[in-house]
Amino acid sequence: MGPNARDSEHVKYGLLDNEARREGSDVQYMEKPKRRFAYLLPLLCLLNIVLFLISTFSLLKIEQILAWEPRTINNDLKKINSFSPLLEHLDLPLHTQKVDGSLFNTSHSIFRQEPSKAVDAAWDAISNIGIFTITTDEVKRLGKDPSRVVKAPESWGKGPNAYLAQLDTQHTLHCLNAIRKHVYFDYYFSPKYASHSQLPKISKVHLAHCLHIVLQNLLCQPSTGVITFDWVETQENPFPDFSIQRKCVDHDSILEWQRERNVASVERWRDIRRPEGAVVREADEGLLEWVRKDEGL
């Protein structure tokens, strides 16, 4: 291409550019938006990423809020216990308490004293087993079959679907009290029985049952407290300090809850009889053998 041709091309495109600028032609109009869009594309991508992250975070927070439970001791206890109507109906107080770990009864606790009527009354008060009623739904939440659980007699006025129940912690305390009585054998069993070997078999069976119940409770929820050692006057070796700090549930509030819902006196309990057509649980071999020998309970 010669010089004249190049000059001619320059003139042609120069005229086109001038004309486009004068008339706002489509050539100029189309080129500028393309350049702007190319510039905004990274910003739009970044904005989408930010919005996505904000949406994801918001959804997670909403889920946490919906799953949130008030921080109460009951909610913590529910995590380490199976279902209990007690935890549904009573807000259990929690307090810090120093364990009385003294070797000798320097605090004069009545629960460590020699047997007497006053000591028995104190133990009976904390180990009392009350009978209360629970609903069909509560029976199911306990993992039990309502058709197999004993109902309160309708004459008690609790309705057609009231089932008899008691607290496990009170049964455990009852067992601890039974073990205590065997420690003071002479007071509780003499002179009728001269030695432990002469006790009726059912007494020995009950003692073994209670030892096992207490053991299982301690192993199920062991204390995580830590015992340190001190140098103690008269002692040449390290001496353990059993008086540790513990977080304790208020047992008195449990007793009060049980008392308010108690429906059965001893006499009323003894009057309950199995109705016709009741579903019967199979007896274990030990009980069957006991009945076969006609030793009675």
Average pLDDT, the chain: 86
| Cis amide leading into 191 (omega within 30) | yes
Taking residues 217-245, report their average pLDDT: 97
Res 90: pLDDT: 94
- In this model, does residue 89 exceed pLDDT 60? yes
Which DSSP category does 103 fall into? S
Among all chains, which residue has been given the structure tokens 């065997």? Answer: 182
Q: What is the pTM of this model?
A: 0.75
Burial class (CB in 10 A: 0-12, 13-18, 19+), 130: middle
Note the pLDDT tens digit of each residue in 259-282.
Answer: 999 998 888 888 999 999 999 999
147: closest CA among 289, 5, 281? 281
- In this model, does residue 216 exceed pLDDT 70? yes
AA identity, residue 37? F
Q: How far apart are CA 290 and CA 297, in angstroms?
A: 8
Domain locations in the chain as residue ranges: 3-67, 73-275
AA identity, residue 230? D
171: closest CA among 205, 211, 128, 131? 128
- In this model, does residue 233 exceed pLDDT 80? yes
Helices (H), the chain: 3-23, 26-67, 73-80, 85-89, 117-127, 136-141, 168-183, 185-189, 201-220, 251-261, 266-270, 285-292
Res 279: pLDDT: 94
- Which of the four pLDDT bands, split at 50, 70 and 90, describes residue 286? confident
Count CB neighbours of 186 within 10 A. Answer: 10
- Which of the four pLDDT bands, split at 50, 70 and 90, describes residue 158? very high
CA atoms within 13 Å, Cβ hemisphere of 117: 0
- Which of the four pLDDT bands, split at 50, 70 and 90, describes residue 68? low
Res 67: pLDDT: 59
Q: For strand 228-230 and strand 163-165, is the pairing parallel, antiparallel, or unpaired?
A: unpaired
- The answer to whether 72 and 91 are in contact (CB under 8 A) is yes
Res 12: pLDDT: 47
When mean pLDDT is compared across 32-46, 177-191, 223-237, 246-260, the lowest value belongs to 32-46
Taking residues 168-174, report their average pLDDT: 98
Res 13: pLDDT: 47
Q: Show the tokens assigned to 27.
A: 């050539």
- Which of the four pLDDT bands, split at 50, 70 and 90, describes residue 48? confident
Q: Show the tokens assigned to 269.
A: 């309990």
Res 65: pLDDT: 63
AA identity, residue 285? E
- In this model, does residue 7 exceed pLDDT 80? no
Res 261: pLDDT: 96
- In this model, does residue 72 exceed pLDDT 90? no
Helix H or strand E segment including 94: strand 94-98
- Which of the four pLDDT bands, split at 50, 70 and 90, describes residue 214? very high
CA angle 165, 171, 176 (to 5 degrees): 175
Res 50: pLDDT: 85
- Which of the four pLDDT bands, split at 50, 70 and 90, describes residue 16? very low
Among all chains, which residue has been given the structure tokens 């938006």? Answer: 33
When mean pLDDT is compared across 24-33, 185-194, 276-285, the lowest value belongs to 24-33
